[in-house]
């Protein structure tokens, strides 16, 4: 199957809409990452998402809508959700609601809840409006690869596997949406993203919990609140190690560890802040953005991880940022890329 990459305009929206109505797949940009969409109410279309991605069938999908009137047929809404929708939709917040029978169990991997989000990206909004369907869409990467943040990333993973990619340029946020569980007693963040714990708490006026395994591996007998947390995600082929500690110790340690590996003949590099590029110039430094801008680091992270594989990196040492605000989302993804291996300088 030839994969077309089209710029968004009236005719490509009409084409995307036709494909979706026929049960075919369309990759499209959102403000977080690119999604791989199918008609959420068409079971076979949904199954073909799992096939194209090589995704385990027990990992549920997010349903994307452009208007709240679409919610009625999909789920029932707890009262807590209303102020959050007012504050953060459209935007990078996914909420779990109680699923109604119209949603095929293939979308929710048999769970009683369905994840819903209203993206703010104009291309996503226009495509959702053109087709009028709720669109189930995971990130448009092959399973186990970093989420795509450009149309070129999607093409790397999906060439000849899907008919259409809508090219809306680079995604703004660069990390996937915040996933918030509102179906249990306490609102709980299952996956941190652009809408932070503080932002949610200030709207709700109450505490929002963080799922335990956001900054550490899932324990052997621990039940994953979100099935996605069970899988090894976002991991480049090389071994990544995080270096934690005060700057005056981390930078020399990054340098020493990387140079040791180079001497041992390993293809190795460091992921470092813009501010440290010069001090680490003999370590093949990869700029992850300024230490003072977690948003910039988020925006670049997945592209950087993809490049490590292209370059055949075997050993990677990375700086870390405080796990606060957007930094929590960054450290969740970077931590998983490193299987949470950390050396304290």
Of these, 113, 120, 188, 304, which contacts ligand TXA (CB under 6 A)? 113
Residue with tokens 């813009």: 274
- 16 in Cβ contact with 127 (< 8 Å): yes
Binding flag, residue 35, ligand TXA (CB under 6 A): yes
> What is the enclosing helix (H) or strand (E) of 315?
strand 315-319
Out of ligand TXA, Mg ion, none, what residue 45 binds, judged by CB under 5 to 8 A for its kind, is none
* Segment contacting ligand TXA by CB under 6 A, of 136-144, 154-162, 197-205, 327-335: 136-144
- 342 in Cβ contact with 249 (< 8 Å): no
Binding flag, residue 32, ligand TXA (CB under 6 A): yes
Complex with ligand TXA: residue 107 or 280, whichever CB lies closer: 107
- 243 in Cβ contact with 257 (< 8 Å): yes
* Segment contacting Mg ion by CB under 5 A, of 7-15, 133-141, 206-214, 317-325: 133-141
Of these, 12, 42, 94, 268, which contacts ligand TXA (CB under 6 A)? 94
Out of ligand TXA, Mg ion, none, what residue 111 binds, judged by CB under 5 to 8 A for its kind, is ligand TXA
Binding flag, residue 228, ligand TXA (CB under 6 A): yes
* Segment contacting Mg ion by CB under 5 A, of 93-101, 137-145, 178-186, 324-332: 137-145
Binding flag, residue 250, Mg ion (CB under 5 A): no
Binding flag, residue 227, ligand TXA (CB under 6 A): yes
Neighbour tally for 27: CB within 10 Å:
30
Task: Look up residue 345 and give its two tokens.
Answer: 């300088």
Four-point Cα dihedral 119, 52, 145, 151, nearest 10 = -50
Backbone phi, psi, residue 210, to 5°: -110, 135
- Kindly determine how many residues on this chain lie close enough to bind ligand TXA according to the rule CB under 6 A: 27
CB of 201 to ligand TXA, least distance (A): 21
Contacts of 43 (CB under 8 A, 6+ apart): 104, 106
Q: Is the peptide bond before 202 cis (omega within 30 degrees of 0)?
A: no
Binding flag, residue 62, ligand TXA (CB under 6 A): yes
Of these, 42, 94, 108, 139, which contacts Mg ion (CB under 5 A)? 139
Task: Look up residue 50 and give its two tokens.
Answer: 């799992």
- The whole-angstrom separation of Cα 246 and Cα 258 is 18
- The whole-angstrom separation of Cα 160 and Cα 52 is 10
CB of 139 to Mg ion, least distance (A): 3
Q: Which residues bind ligand TXA (CB under 6 A)?
A: 30, 32-33, 35, 59-62, 94, 96, 108, 111, 113-115, 117, 137-139, 176-177, 179, 190-191, 226-228
């Amino acid at each position: 199957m030839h994969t077309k990459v089209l710029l968004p305009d009236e005719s490509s929206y009409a084409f995307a809409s036709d494909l979706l109505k026929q049960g075919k797949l369309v990759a499209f940009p959102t403000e977080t990452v690119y999604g791989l969409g199918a008609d959420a109410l068409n079971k076979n279309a949904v199954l073909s998402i799992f096939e194209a991605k090589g995704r385990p069938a027990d990992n549920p999908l997010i349903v994307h809508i452009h208007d709240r009137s679409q919610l009625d047929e999909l789920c029932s809404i707890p009262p807590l959700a209303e102020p959050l929708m007012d504050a953060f939709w459209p935007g990078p917040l996914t909420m779990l609601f109680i699923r109604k029978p119209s949603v095929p169990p293939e979308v929710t991997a048999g769970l009683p809840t369905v994840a819903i989000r209203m993206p703010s990206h104009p291309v996503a909004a226009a495509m959702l409006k053109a087709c009028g369907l709720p669109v189930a869409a995971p990130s448009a990467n092959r399973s186990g690869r970093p989420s795509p943040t450009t149309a070129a990333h999607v093409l790397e993973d999906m060439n000849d596997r899907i008919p259409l990619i809508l090219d809306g340029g680079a995604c703004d946020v660069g990390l996937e949406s915040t996933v918030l569980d509102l179906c249990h007693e306490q609102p709980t963040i299952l996956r941190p993203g652009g809408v932070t714990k503080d932002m949610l708490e200030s709207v709700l006026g109450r505490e929002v919990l963080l799922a335990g395994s956001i900054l550490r591996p899932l324990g052997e007998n621990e039940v994953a609140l979100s099935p996605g947390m069970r899988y090894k995600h976002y991991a480049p082929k090389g071994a990544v190690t995080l270096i934690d500690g005060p700057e005056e110790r981390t930078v020399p340690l990054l340098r020493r560890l990387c140079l040791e590996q180079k001497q041992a003949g390993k293809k190795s590099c460091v992921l470092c802040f813009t501010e440290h590029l010069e001090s680490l110039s003999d370590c093949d430094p990869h700029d992850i953005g300024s230490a003072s801008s977690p948003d910039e680091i988020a925006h670049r992270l997945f592209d950087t991880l993809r490049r490590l594989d292209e370059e055949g990196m075997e050993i990677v040492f990375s700086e870390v940022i405080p796990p606060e605000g957007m930094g929590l989302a960054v450290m969740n993804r970077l931590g998983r890329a490193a299987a949470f291996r950390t050396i304290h300088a």
